[in-house]
A and B are shown apart, each in its own frame.
Chain A
């Protein structure tokens, strides 16, 4: 019986004008998005490759000339554009994507300036997630705002429920048909996009990518189910078609516009962080204190006693102290940035659209998941590099073996073969790590869907059709 209802509803939907219109829009956007992605991605890739080869050249030059200079040099390294950014770019161009480090200290991350044109108002990229969350999410609400209230208004509801079908089955049938139809609207677009991407050759398809696409589709179905349940609920609690539509629009506006766009404000109030200015002041104060002590010690020495052998250990001691003071403050600050951002993510979790974005971001292992992982890996890499360097330095009889983060003259100044220098390699998050990142959004999406559907179910079963 359920399948009969589903089929009947799907049939009704397929013939409807709104489905055709939505399908055209979705196809158009998927096509346009893919073509634009290919051009943009190729250009980004070229730009990145150029930057990376310059970086490698500089690294090689330094390492082969003077390893001490190589260790003290503060440089930046950025993450490569993602191959799977067509699924979701996870707003990585607006996110910190570049790390600053030397052999002694990973000092921070920032948003690389090359990534976007700051004269142009920032915009969301036309990725799959964008199309699904904005257009398909909206279309789902349009498909079912009149699912029950429409029947109520034109009086057919009494007839429908007088059939020998239980109300529960009827409602479930209607609900499942909307999900199916929404997925049917989506699939041609995704297939079109995949064809364009395959033909262009701009994206290399491997098993990981295919798995990501498959999991993304499951996530999409869940998101569609959530939006459909909300639409269904609005259609049941209202008696008039117009009101149901307005409620749907309010839900959509709330989750697409209001919640994500007021996140910064509420996050600043609920999860405040210290201002960057005050952090910088604290760092320079801490450094000043160490500097003052250093100067006092150095000037206490007689001028004729100030040989490098005596001075370097002192400089190194204070330099390390200064670095440690800076590191303690900066690490705490960087952690507070992550904490605040995670807090903001929990705030926007009221919106199914934001949840879906977070879920997809975790599926492709981009955005926050990627940044966090690379940040940890970078810190790990830096300590490995330092250990490796100390080993090489120990073998150099001419080196004083005194490590000053900002001055290379007391360490080995010989060059090494660049191939032997450990290099930072970005490791993509494993599926287990991604799942870890997706846990909250997945659980909440399921929760919202269940609550909305259960409520609609109860209300519909108890509904007085007279």
Chain B
């Protein structure tokens, strides 16, 4: 009997204008969304490839202090289903000795134009959420009130059929109607993925897409129950449609923005500019401390080829006196130990900041969970790994890898090796006397003679004694390091199980909302006055 009612509902809906328009809406919006998102994904892939190329270049190193690889996060191909926050965050991290990875760098948005950041782009799941919830409400808003108005409800209920069966039949009928639309949308999506030259889904990704499909069905059922509930509370279908539509606008368009706005004003996050200033001062202070560990520069220790530390504590020199190289080598171990330790201190400042941001984000998410559509969007971004948890997991993996690299350098005693900062053989370098001899083209032979010259010519500029350019070294001709022993980056742990674990709470919330609405509509329908 339930099936009879379900089929009757199904046929009535199928021939109705709302079904046709709903179907047309999907036919129009879904392909558009897919094209937009596949296009954006393509730009993400291009950005990834560029970064990957740069990362490879960055690893062509001659000295160990430059072992500061760039870790690039591959774009998530399921981001075409749900973008999550993947278009707000960068895609790579540069590992350094002086700081732990704080934030992913690089291009975030799909456009190169920062002005275009004012537009949002909707993904497949958002469009689906908008259209499915709207259709679910349109198919159910008059399930009771409409039939009461037409007078058919009296007749149906006067049969020996229990009311619960009628209700179940109606729910089933609405689900049956929507199923073709949902399946059609997903088929379109699957087709776009299969036909696109830029996306290759693995088995794992197909499986997760299947899970998103199941979540959409559950989401649709939630809104169908909401429609039924409203329909069995109000006596007129004109009233129930208004309530349904206002609830729809509230859940889909008001809640996501209000929750972010309210969370933003309830929990303040400190300014990043202030953090920048703090971390800069901290690192600068530590750097000054570290310099002291080297002690006085001994006489005759100088470099004529760039030996200033680059970003992140990388340093390379290929022209310096043996005294300089030895003095530098001896200091390195303690200096870099200090740097690495101070990175921990800096991270404490940054972690506090990230934690505060994360707390604000969590509050916004929890507030927004009053809306089933928000729960569905959060759930789908968890399944598609475009959520904050996945990003945090990536950042953690880069932290771990940095530790591994430092451990590798420590185990091989590389911090206090010459190879740490120079690719030349120290024994083959000019000593200080040879250097002076070279630059003055034989005019002065030793450092002592140079000192004497300075004393004799106090009014002359110190550089005017030199008649020849500094000896130049072609860095490109120096040998590259063999990095085959260096532990490789393991990537972020994956697997469906992990995504499921992330999405469990959201799934539970969605099921709860669904059950509560079902219960409410059940009670309301049982008590419905058919007169």
Which residue numbers of A lie inside 8 Å of B, CB to CB? 17-18, 21-22, 25, 29, 32-33, 35-37, 39-40, 43, 47, 50-51, 54, 91, 94-96, 109-114, 117-126, 130, 134-135, 138, 142, 146, 240, 242-243, 245-247, 249-250, 253, 256-258, 260-265, 267-268, 273, 275-277, 299, 302-304, 306-307, 337-338, 340-341, 344, 367-368, 371
Distance of A85 Cα from B473 Cα, bound (Å): 59
Given A120-B364, A142-B242, check contact A95 B134 (CB 8 Å). no
Which positions 231-271 of chain B face chain A at CB distance < 8 Å? 238-239, 241-243, 245-246, 249-250, 253-254, 256-266, 268-269, 271
Q: Which candidate, B106-114, B297-305, B341-349, B396-404, is the interface stretch facing chain A?
A: B106-114
Residues in A with CB closer than 8 Å to B16 are: 242
Option from B239, B246, B360, B464 in Cβ contact (under 8 Å) with A120: B360
Cβ of B32 and Cβ of A119 under 8 Å apart? no
- Measured CB to CB, the closest approach of chain B to A241, in angstroms, equals 8
| B164 at the A interface (CB under 8 A) | no
- Measured CB to CB, the closest approach of chain A to B365, in angstroms, equals 8
Cβ of A117 and Cβ of B357 under 8 Å apart? yes
The 9 tightest CB contacts between A and B, nearest first, are A123-B260, A39-B265, A341-B115, A91-B118, A18-B242, A40-B265, A265-B36, A119-B361, A261-B122
Residues in A with CB closer than 8 Å to B266 are: 39
Residues in A with CB closer than 8 Å to B265 are: 35-37, 39-40, 43
| B352 at the A interface (CB under 8 A) | no
Which residue numbers of B lie inside 8 Å of A, CB to CB? 16-18, 21, 25, 29, 32, 35-36, 39-40, 50, 84-85, 88-89, 107-108, 110-122, 127, 130, 134, 138, 238-239, 241-243, 245-246, 249-250, 253-254, 256-266, 268-269, 271-274, 277, 354, 357-358, 360-361, 364, 388, 391, 461, 463-464, 466-469
Residues in A with CB closer than 8 Å to B116 are: 263-264, 267, 340-341, 344
Given A39-B265, A117-B264, check contact A47 B271 (CB 8 Å). yes
Residues in A with CB closer than 8 Å to B274 are: 47, 50-51
Cβ of A123 and Cβ of B245 under 8 Å apart? no
- Measured CB to CB, the closest approach of chain A to B253, in angstroms, equals 5
Residues in A with CB closer than 8 Å to B257 are: 123-126, 130
Cβ of A243 and Cβ of B17 under 8 Å apart? yes
Option from B29, B36, B88 in Cβ contact (under 8 Å) with A121: B88
Distance of A122 Cα from B269 Cα, bound (Å): 15
Residues in A with CB closer than 8 Å to B115 are: 95-96, 337-338, 340-341, 368, 371
Q: Mostly helix, strand, loop or mixed at chain B's interface?
A: helix
Option from B246, B263, B468 in Cβ contact (under 8 Å) with A22: B246
Which residue of chain A has its CB nearest to the CB of B259?
A: A123
Option from A21, A39, A51, A253 in Cβ contact (under 8 Å) with B25: A253
Distance of A93 Cα from B461 Cα, bound (Å): 54
Residues in B with CB closer than 8 Å to A32 are: 258, 262
Residues in A with CB closer than 8 Å to B391 are: 119
Residues in B with CB closer than 8 Å to A371 are: 115
Option from A54, A109, A245, A246 in Cβ contact (under 8 Å) with B277: A54
CB<8 Å pairs between A and B, sample of 10: A25-B250, A32-B258, A32-B262, A40-B264, A50-B274, A51-B271, A120-B264, A123-B256, A126-B258, A273-B113
- Measured CB to CB, the closest approach of chain B to A227, in angstroms, equals 14
Residues in A with CB closer than 8 Å to B467 are: 302-304
Q: Which of A18, A119, A243, A260 has the most CB of B within 10 A?
A: A119
Residues in A with CB closer than 8 Å to B259 are: 123
Given A33-B261, A94-B117, A242-B18, check contact A134 B112 (CB 8 Å). no
Residues in A with CB closer than 8 Å to B466 are: 303-304
- Measured CB to CB, the closest approach of chain A to B278, in angstroms, equals 12
Distance of A29 Cα from B262 Cα, bound (Å): 11
- Measured CB to CB, the closest approach of chain B to A120, in angstroms, equals 4
- Measured CB to CB, the closest approach of chain B to A116, in angstroms, equals 8
Given A242-B17, A265-B36, A340-B115, check contact A134 B469 (CB 8 Å). no
Distance of A373 Cα from B292 Cα, bound (Å): 50
Known: A18-B246, A47-B274. 15 other contacts (CB 8 A): A37-B265, A51-B273, A95-B117, A119-B354, A123-B261, A138-B249, A250-B21, A253-B130, A261-B36, A261-B120, A264-B110, A265-B40, A265-B121, A307-B464, A344-B119
Distance of A456 Cα from B118 Cα, bound (Å): 35
Residues in A with CB closer than 8 Å to B242 are: 17-18, 21, 142
Option from A242, A250, A260, A344 in Cβ contact (under 8 Å) with B120: A260
Given A18-B242, A29-B254, A117-B361, check contact A246 B264 (CB 8 Å). no
Cβ of B264 and Cβ of A261 under 8 Å apart? no
Residues in B with CB closer than 8 Å to A43 are: 265, 268
Distance of A240 Cα from B238 Cα, bound (Å): 13
Distance of A266 Cα from B466 Cα, bound (Å): 63
- Measured CB to CB, the closest approach of chain A to B170, in angstroms, equals 18
Residues in B with CB closer than 8 Å to A275 are: 112
Cβ of B119 and Cβ of A261 under 8 Å apart? yes
Residues in A with CB closer than 8 Å to B112 are: 273, 275-276
Cβ of B36 and Cβ of A122 under 8 Å apart? no
Cβ of B119 and Cβ of A246 under 8 Å apart? no
Q: Which of B119, B241, B262, B265 has the most CB of A within 10 A?
A: B119
Q: Which of B273, B361, B466, B467 has the most CB of A within 10 A?
A: B273
Given A110-B114, A303-B468, check contact A246 B50 (CB 8 Å). no
Cβ of B272 and Cβ of A113 under 8 Å apart? yes
Residues in A with CB closer than 8 Å to B250 are: 25
Residues in A with CB closer than 8 Å to B357 are: 117-120
Which residue of chain A has its CB nearest to the CB of B47?
A: A277
Residues in A with CB closer than 8 Å to B40 are: 264-265
Distance of A385 Cα from B347 Cα, bound (Å): 40
Given A118-B89, A260-B120, A277-B50, check contact A142 B113 (CB 8 Å). no
Residues in B with CB closer than 8 Å to A91 are: 118
Cβ of A135 and Cβ of B114 under 8 Å apart? no
